[in-house]
Amino acid sequence: MTIRVLEDWQGLSLEDLLRYCRDLVEDAEYPTVKRWRQAGGKVVGHFEVYFPEEIVAAAGLLPVKIHGAPIEARQGDAHFGAYLCSIVKTSLELALSGRLELEMFVSHPICDTARNLAAVWGRNVSYPCEILYLPQNANSLHARTYLRGEYDRLKRGVEAIAGREVTDEDLRGATAIFNENRRLLRQLYTIKRETPWLLAIDEAYVLMALGGRIPREEHNELLAAVIPMLERRAAQPQDRMRLVFEGGFCEQPPLDLLTTIAQSSYVVDDDLLIGLRWISEDVPLDGDPLESLAHAYLEHSNYSPVQHDLRKPKEQMLVQRIRESGAGAAIISAAKMCEPGLDEQVAYVKALDEEGIPYFVNEFEENMTSFDSLQIQLETFIENVLFA
Amino acid sequence: MTIDTSAAPGQPAPAAATHDSLVGRGNHEGNRLFREWYARLTSAPERGEKAAYVFVMGSLAELLQSFDFNLVLPEINGLQTAVRHVSESYIAQAEDYGYASDVCGYVKADVGLQLRGGEHPMGRIPRPDIAVFTGACNTYIKWAEIWERMYRIPIFTLDVPGTRAAGRVTGRGQVDYQNDLAYVAGQIDELISLCEQVSGKRLDVERLRQAMSYANAMTRDWLRVLELNKSRPAVYNAVTDGTVYLGVVNGFRGRPEGAHYFEQLVEELEYKAANGIGTNFDERHRLAFVGVPCYPIYRRFSEMFTERGGVFAGSSYTWFASGGWNSGFEYDLDHPLESLAEGVLVSVRAAMDAMFHTDRLLADMAEPYGIDGIVYHSIKSCRTVSAGLADSRRAVMEQANVATLLIDSDHMDPRVVSEAGLKNRVDAFFEGLETRKLLAAAG
């Protein structure tokens, strides 16, 4: 069954296409998911950061990336205590308010709050809710075998929802589509890194984030059309500082915050929705597909504050990201109440101090609406660096 | 295989027990053991001994002690600073270093301690030579990364997968259980190699077996201790006395002193149960506690309940902070390494269940423990324990006929603790409890 969820976009100009994507990403009613369901499709929601979406897509289900929303958590608030990040509350709100209807929900042991999320979610809905235990000892020689088994467990759960078996061929087919998606996203980030005046951070974000709420085949079509349009875009480079934005691996900053940053700088790399770009190389299509996915997760992957891997010291990875993208400074951000993000800020700024790389530290919340003070602070920071 | 704990090394032979020597012995002995424990840690560097930093949920004490590592439990170090009213200065030092106000107070107290060269109210904490931790709390991992950066020491995440969904606890023979078990067992092999490298010693399986046998005895007695508080009146306060007992569970796990202590504790509590001796307070309401105690005002926090006749007969703290010993898993001493892996999996998983799926455990304990009310203490520092409390409370209220109270404060940071605010809520809770009893009596 092929279900298409995007409206006709082929004739749109680049600016109109970007606006269309932004509207969809900002729409907390998830119209694309509703269209999928109206056509008889089933949906598996998965929480930040990384999720092997291939396994869900291989079963003909729609994997939807849940990363909160700029909405009021009217019901979500009552299910959580104080002193918690916003994303868990608004994510649950999406489900309890009926905005996002699912057949299954999966979260991961990325942090202490998210560990509780599947249990809380499960007590309040009738469909299966579970934790996918991605290995936290990435350096164990046994992690890959374990993860392959864990993916097999997930596959069995997905098969029960889909009502059919997921074959190796199904998995290979889905993996090929996601390989293509990751390749296109890498291309998008190359444009942002090498010609940032062609693609602002908020524009890149909406193009990428849309993939989390539509079938990847459609996302691939859209990216394949947009990338040449971006490359032909009539825009001249300006004398702006090149920055890396770090701190968007889980809860997402409001789009308007990204727009504010884009007004005074070029963000040439970031960790926004890093889970969609977690795997850094094509996953092989031969051999055991689950084994290949497990191998890629552990061996060919990005970094984030929620994974400890001796091979990827995070502060060194950040310095590498800054160097490789040719950035002159970094925005070291963290979502409010985010323990992993706030812990990592300390290591990041000490490493940047040692490297002599200027940085701007801040915190954000997905529901924040005022950016005037951020704009002034950021502009002051940039002026101080440029004219030091 | 059985062990004799009646005259453990270094312990005096027990005299004939009398009322005076029995009642209160658990608390006195627990405190004595801990003073000695800190003294031993303080002098460890002089003896050239190495230190392993570990946490209460999955400390691997049985294994690490076989390599002669002194165990350092930073959570206990932290709570000691709060009980002794000095945590704020440690936390402030960490905040000056760069840690945000929303970071766990335990972590910040430890950062402050490290920045002071181990200076602690109970002694001097040695620097780590290795850190071993599970992912039962994600902050364990972030915390250990701090030591990794400060001291360039090896740190080891022993990843223990937890229950995937409520009510779906796997067991022997199930493919998913075997997958988890093989993963944990493989990591323990890797940990042993690392310990051999850091300690310069080969694993002595007999020493490990001995430690596991002491741990088995402690586990059996721990279950008995928990069960004995079904007595009316409750024979101990699960929050205050329970915290002392938990200290021994963690500090002396797999040690002869620990086994001896719990054997004596069971004797004391059985005596109290048989003679109808309760805590020091008039028991009018039997309560369960969920979360971590409010250490910055430890005594006053307890008094808010005891003054109104509330006694904590049970506490989720005794489940998860014992590393899941409530699971009752006993090691098979004929297969120590395989059994160690299974014990870690089962018990750490139980500890996690005691935080993420507390509603079922609490609803189950309400009737046998005669629980009138449940107190949920949500703390700013610990999202592992606190994030799901509000929802868990709603679920329990649907499953069991008990009164509940949800209060917010912190277990480390006095700046977040409002004693007056807490007391108002607690007083109102007791008025509700009393009204419920009057209404029940009136039919």
**A135-185 residue pLDDT tens:** 999 999 999 999 999 999 999 999 999 999 999 999 999 999 999 999 999
B384:A112 CB<8 A: yes
Q: What is the mean pLDDT of chain B?
A: 94
Among A44-48, A78-82, A306-310, B103-107, the minimum mean pLDDT is found in A78-82
Please tell me which of the candidates A123, A140, A340 has its beta carbon nearest to residue B190.
A140
Chain B nearest C-alpha distance from A1 (Å): 30
- Would you say B418 and B388 are in contact if contact means Cβ atoms under 8 Å apart? no
In this model, does residue A367 exceed pLDDT 80? yes
Interface test with A, best of B55, B106, B132, B145 (most A CBs within 10 A): B145
**Averaged over B119-146, what is the pLDDT?**
97
Q: How many CB atoms lie within 10 A of CB B277?
A: 17
Percent of chain B with pLDDT over 70: 96
Give the whole-angstrom CA distance, residue B342 versus residue B328: 12
Strand order in the sheet with A241-246: A265-270, A241-246, A329-335, A359-364
Q: Going by DSSP bridges, is the β-strand pair B119-120/A129-131 parallel, antiparallel, or unpaired?
A: unpaired
Can you tell me the mean pLDDT for B209-230? 98
* A349 inside 8 A of chain B by CB: yes
Q: Does residue B7 surpass a pLDDT of 70? A: no
Does the structure show a pLDDT above 80 at B281?
no
Q: Which of B391, B397, B406 to mutate to test the interface with A (most CBs of A within 10 A)?
A: B391
Report the pLDDT value the prediction gives residue B16, as an integer from 0 to 100: 59
Interface contact flag, A143 B159, Cβ < 8 Å = yes
Of B165, B179, B383, the CB nearest to A84: B383
Q: In chain A, which residues have their Cβ closer than 8 Å to the Cβ of B144?
A: 308
pLDDT at B282 over 60: yes
Residue B157's DSSP bridge partners are B133
3-state DSSP of chain B: CCCCCCCCCCCCCCCCCCHHHHCCHHHHHHHHHHHHHHHHHHHCCCCCCCEEECCCCCCCHHHHHHCCCEEECHHHHHHHHHHCCCHHHHHHHHHHHCCCCCCCHHHHHHHHHHHCCCEECCEECCCCCEEEEECCCHHHHHHHHHHHHHHCCCEEEECCCCCCCCCCCCCCCCHHHHHHHHHHHHHHHHHHHHHHHHHCCCCCHHHHHHHHHHHHHHHHHHHHHHHHCCCCCCCCCCCHHHHHHHHHHHHCCCCHHHHHHHHHHHHHHHHHHHCCCCCCCCCCEEEEEEECCCHHHHHHHHHHHHCCCEEEEEECHHHHCCCCHHHCCCCCCCCHHHHHHHHHHHHHHHHHHHHHCHHHHHHHHHCCCCCCEEEEEEECCCHHHHCCHHHHHHHHHHHCCCEEEEEEECCCCHHHCCHHHHHHHHHHHHHHHHHHHHHHHCC
Chain B residues lying within 8 Å of A113, measured CB to CB:
383, 387
Neighbours of A194 (CB within 10 A): 12
Say if the Cβ atoms of B182 and A153 lie within 8 Å.
no
Place of tokens 């201790």: B225
Chain A positions touching B352 (Cβ under 8 A) are 115
Q: A19 pLDDT band (50/70/90 cuts)? A: very high
* Option in B176, B389, B408 nearest A153 (CB): B176
CA distance A16 to chain B (A): 41
Record: contact A81-B384, CB cut-off 8 A: no
Residue with the two structure tokens 């490290």? B114
Tokens standing for residue B396: 């329990």
Portion 393-432 of B in contact with A at CB < 8 A: 394-395, 406, 408
Is pLDDT at B273 greater than 60 in this prediction?
yes
Give the A:B interface size as CB pairs under 8 Å: 178
Check if B103 contacts A (Cβ < 8 Å).
yes
Residue with tokens 């290795």: B130
Which residue shows structure tokens 């400890």? A308
> Strands A129-131 and A104-107, how do they pair?
parallel
Cα A158 to Cα A135: distance, rounded to the nearest angstrom? 20
Measured between CB atoms, which of B97, B146, B164 is closest to A130?
B164
Strand segments, DSSP code E, in A49-103 are 62-66
Predicted local confidence at residue B191, as pLDDT: 98
Task: Please state, as a whole number, how many other Cβ atoms lie within 10 Å of the Cβ of residue B176.
Answer: 18
Other C-beta atoms within 10 Å of A46: how many? 25
User: Of A378-382, B15-19, B88-92, which gets the smallest average pLDDT?
Assistant: B15-19
Q: Which residues pair with A301 in a beta bridge?
A: A279
CB within 8 Å of B370: residues ≥ 6 apart: B230, B232, B286, B313
- Asked if B383 is an interface residue toward chain A (Cβ–Cβ < 8 A), one would say yes
Interface test mutation site (partner A, options B106, B157, B168, max chain A beta carbons within 10 A): B157
Using CA atoms, how far apart are residues B114 and B136, in angstroms rounded to an integer?
23
Binned at pLDDT 50, 70 and 90, residue A2 comes out as: confident
In this structure, are residues A364 and A246 in contact, taking their beta carbons and an 8 Å threshold? no
> Is A316 part of the contact surface with chain B (CB cutoff 8 Å)?
no
Phi, psi angle pair for B288, to nearest 5°? -115, 145
A160 contacts chain B (CB < 8 A) = no
Scanning the structure block, which residue is given the tokens 């977690």? A278
pLDDT > 80? residue B321 = yes
List all residues of chain B from 161 to 180 with a beta carbon under 8 Å from chain A: 161-166, 168, 175-176, 179-180
Residues B378 and B386: beta-carbon distance below 8 Å = yes
Token code pair at residue A19? 């606006």
- Is residue A351 within 8 angstroms of chain B, CB to CB? no
* Residue closest to B139 by CA, chosen among B189, B114, B102, B166: B102
Strand ranges across the sheet with B403-409: B310-315, B285-291, B373-379, B403-409
pLDDT for position B3: 41
Q: What is the ipTM of this complex?
A: 0.96
Chain B residues in contact with A123 (beta carbon < 8 A): 166, 359, 391-392, 394-395
Q: Which residue has the tokens 């067992």?
A: B185
Burial class (CB in 10 A: 0-12, 13-18, 19+), A326: middle
CB contacts of A130 in chain B (<8 Å) are 164-165, 168
Of A112, A128, A346, the CB nearest to B387: A112
Q: Is A137 within 8 Å of B356 when comparing Cβ atoms? A: no
Mutation pick from B102, B110, B152, B175 vs chain A, by most beta carbons of A within 10 Å, is B102
Please check whether residue A105 is in contact with residue A129, taking contact to mean a CB–CB distance below 8 angstroms. yes
Burial of B333 (0-12, 13-18, 19+ CB in 10 A): middle
Mutate one of B142, B184, B415 to test the A interface: name it (highest A CB count within 10 A).
B142
The verdict on A119 touching B (C-beta cutoff 8 Å) is yes
Q: Looking at residue A387, what is its pLDDT?
A: 84
> B119: which strand partners?
B124
Q: Would you place residue A222 in the very low, low, confident or very high pLDDT band (cuts 50, 70, 90)?
A: very high
- Whether B14 has a pLDDT exceeding 70, the answer reads no
- pLDDT tens by residue, B164-176: 999 899 999 999 9
Which band of pLDDT confidence, cut at 50, 70 and 90, is reported for residue B2? Answer: very low
Neighbours of A23 (CB within 10 A): 11
What percent of chain B is modeled with pLDDT above 90? 92
Residue A301: which of A278, A282, A319 has the closest Cα?
Answer: A278
Give the side-chain half-sphere CA count within 13 A for B118.
Answer: 17
B190: contact with A, CB 8 A cutoff? yes
Whether residues B186 and A140 touch (CB distance < 8 A) is answered with: yes
List of residues 6+ apart from B353 with CB closer than 8 A? B162, B163, B169, B324, B361
Whole-model pTM: value is: 0.95
Q: Determine, for residues B179 and A146 on separate chains, whether the beta-carbon distance falls below 8 Å.
A: yes
Residues sharing a CB contact under 8 Å with residue A342, sequence separation 6 or more, in sequence order: A334, A363, B99, B100, B102, B103
Q: For tokens 């990364």, name the residue.
A: B145
Q: Distance from A291 to chain B by nearest Cα, in Å? A: 14
Give me the residue from A78, A81, A137 closest to B408, CB to CB: A81
Task: Say if B359 is an interface residue toward chain A (CB within 8 Å).
Answer: yes
The pLDDT of B347-356, averaged and rounded, is 96
What's the first-to-final CA gap in chain B, in angstroms?
A: 55
Give the amino acid at B17.
A
Q: Give B-chain residues touching A340 at CB under 8 angstroms.
A: 138, 142
Residues 6+ apart with CB under 8 A from B302: B237, B239, B240, B293
Determine how many CB atoms are found less than 10 A away from the CB of residue B339.
19
The letter for the amino acid at A50 is: Y
What is the rounded (10 degree) CA torsion for A265, A266, A271, A275? 130
Test A113 with B159 for CB contact under 8 angstroms: no
pLDDT band at B443 (very low <50, low <70, confident <90, very high): confident
Determine the Cα–Cα distance for residues A335 and A113; give it in Å rounded to an integer: 13
Measured CA to CA, the distance from residue A147 to residue B406 in angstroms comes to 38
Measured CA to CA in angstroms, residue A344 lies from A316, B9, B139, B188 at distances of: 12, 45, 11, 28
- What's the CA gap between A166 and A156, in Å, rounded? 8
Quote the pLDDT of residue A218. Answer: 98
pLDDT digits (tens, 9 = 90+) for A196-219: 999 999 999 999 999 999 999 999
Rounded mean pLDDT, B127-141: 97
Nearest to A346 among B99, B190, B382 (CB): B99
For residue B401, the model assigns a pLDDT of 86
Q: So what's the pLDDT on residue B137?
A: 95
Q: Residue A243: which residues within 8 A CB-CB, separation 6 or more? A: A261, A265, A266, A267, A268, A327, A328, A329, A330, A331
Q: Are strands B119-120 and B123-124 parallel, antiparallel or unpaired?
A: antiparallel
Does any CB of chain A come closer than 8 Å to the CB of residue B104? yes
Q: Which of A116, A308, A347 is opposite residue B388, by nearest beta carbon?
A: A116
